[in-house]
């Protein structure tokens, strides 16, 4: 047990440096084509109250900013890697851990310059997909899966857990925010569905890193052990990860100046803490349950 604790301490010491090195390694190997714009990372600007809504556009501008036009532009850039700003996406990922408010400040800047809240560059989605695939393969390796089982797990996690659940959550939050949180019911003021999906991706990324990467170093040595330390450490990882998801989601919707009462998005914290305390009291190991569920999926 002493050797396991010593090993975990070593992992915790080197983990921050490893993550930071990984971020800058990605930024250095992925091509970018607009260094002048990248030098202005996460700009901060003052917001004109007259421009805080989605705004009315003239006929010609409206044609360029329809949902279909935005979707076509986004999907077209998805097929051209050299047109994506991967360096900026890496910086956003780093800021989601250190200062997520700065990420949403950039969304406000995009609204002023491009008249849309949602991302118009799929680079963040591409990098998130890479993180998801690598971490899922690592999870399968830790659980001792074979090649075929690992491919099945990867398909499940990517298309069901990430894409499917993400579309469901984004649609639900889009409906709730437009139905109940708008300060005034006006078609010039609404939450874009693409922005709701971006908020989910922003919140999902820290959760993914905590549960699918950092936690891997502790599964065999600590979390799956028979002692109470195992489910305490594992459930604490879940508390931090889901708590981070709730907080980043709250920041995303509170950044929209035409929404009200966004503090209610923090209310799930109470249920999360209650569930955490109950799980410790009854010895329910969330991570062990996840491992059993993943194994059941691929068998």
Q: Is the pLDDT of residue 34 over 60?
A: no
So what's the pLDDT on residue 202? 96
- Residue-wise pLDDT for 205-253, tens only, equals 999 999 999 999 999 889 998 889 999 999 999 999 999 999 999 999 9
Reported as a pLDDT band with limits 50, 70 and 90, residue 68 is low
Tell me what percent of the residues of the chain surpass a pLDDT of 70. Answer: 72
Question: Rg of the Cα trace of the chain?
Answer: 21
So what's the pLDDT on residue 52? 46
Domain ranges of the chain: 68-298
Query: Which residues, in sequence order, are bridge partners of residue 259?
Result: 182
Reported as a pLDDT band with limits 50, 70 and 90, residue 76 is low
Question: CA 158, 163, 165, 167: dihedral to nearest 10 degrees?
Answer: 180
| Distance (Å, whole) CA 131 – CA 92 | 14
Lowest mean pLDDT, pick from 31-40, 120-129, 155-164: 31-40
pTM score of the predicted model: 0.77
Asked whether 57 and 187 are in contact (CB, 8 A), the reply is no
Q: Is the pLDDT of residue 102 over 90?
A: yes
So what's the pLDDT on residue 185? 74
Reported as a pLDDT band with limits 50, 70 and 90, residue 72 is low
Average pLDDT, the chain: 81
């Amino acid at each position: 047990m002493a050797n396991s604790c010593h090993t975990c301490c070593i992992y915790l010491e080197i983990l921050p440096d490893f993550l930071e090195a990984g971020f800058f390694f990605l930024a250095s190997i992925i091509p970018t084509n607009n260094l002048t714009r990248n030098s202005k990372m996460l700009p901060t600007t003052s917001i004109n109250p007259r421009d805080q809504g989605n705004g009315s556009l003239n006929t010609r501008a409206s044609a360029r900013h329809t949902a279909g036009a935005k979707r076509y532009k986004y999907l077209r850039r998805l097929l051209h890697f050299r047109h994506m700003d991967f360096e900026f996406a890496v910086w956003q990922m780093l800021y989601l851990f250190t200062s997520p408010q700065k990420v949403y400040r950039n969304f406000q800047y995009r609204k002023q310059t491009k008249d849309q809240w949602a991302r118009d560059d799929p680079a963040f989605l591409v990098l998130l997909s890479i993180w998801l695939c690598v971490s899922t393969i690592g999870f399968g390796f830790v659980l001792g899966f074979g090649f075929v089982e690992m491919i099945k797990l990867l398909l499940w996690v990517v298309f069901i857990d990430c894409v499917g659940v993400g579309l469901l959550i984004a649609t639900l939050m889009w409906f709730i925010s437009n139905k109940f949180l708008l300060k005034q019911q006006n078609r010039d003021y609404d939450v874009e569905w693409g922005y709701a999906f971006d908020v989910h991706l922003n919140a999902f990324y820290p959760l993914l890193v905590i549960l699918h990467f950092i936690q891997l170093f502790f599964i065999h040595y600590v979390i799956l052990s028979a002692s109470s330390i195992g489910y305490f450490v594992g459930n604490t990882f879940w508390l931090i990860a889901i708590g981070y998801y709730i907080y980043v989601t709250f920041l995303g919707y509170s950044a929209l100046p035409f929404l009200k009462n966004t503090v209610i998005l923090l209310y799930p914290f109470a249920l999360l803490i209650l569930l955490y305390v109950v799980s410790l009291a009854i010895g329910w190991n969330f991570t062990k349950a996840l491992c059993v569920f993943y194994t059941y999926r691929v068998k």
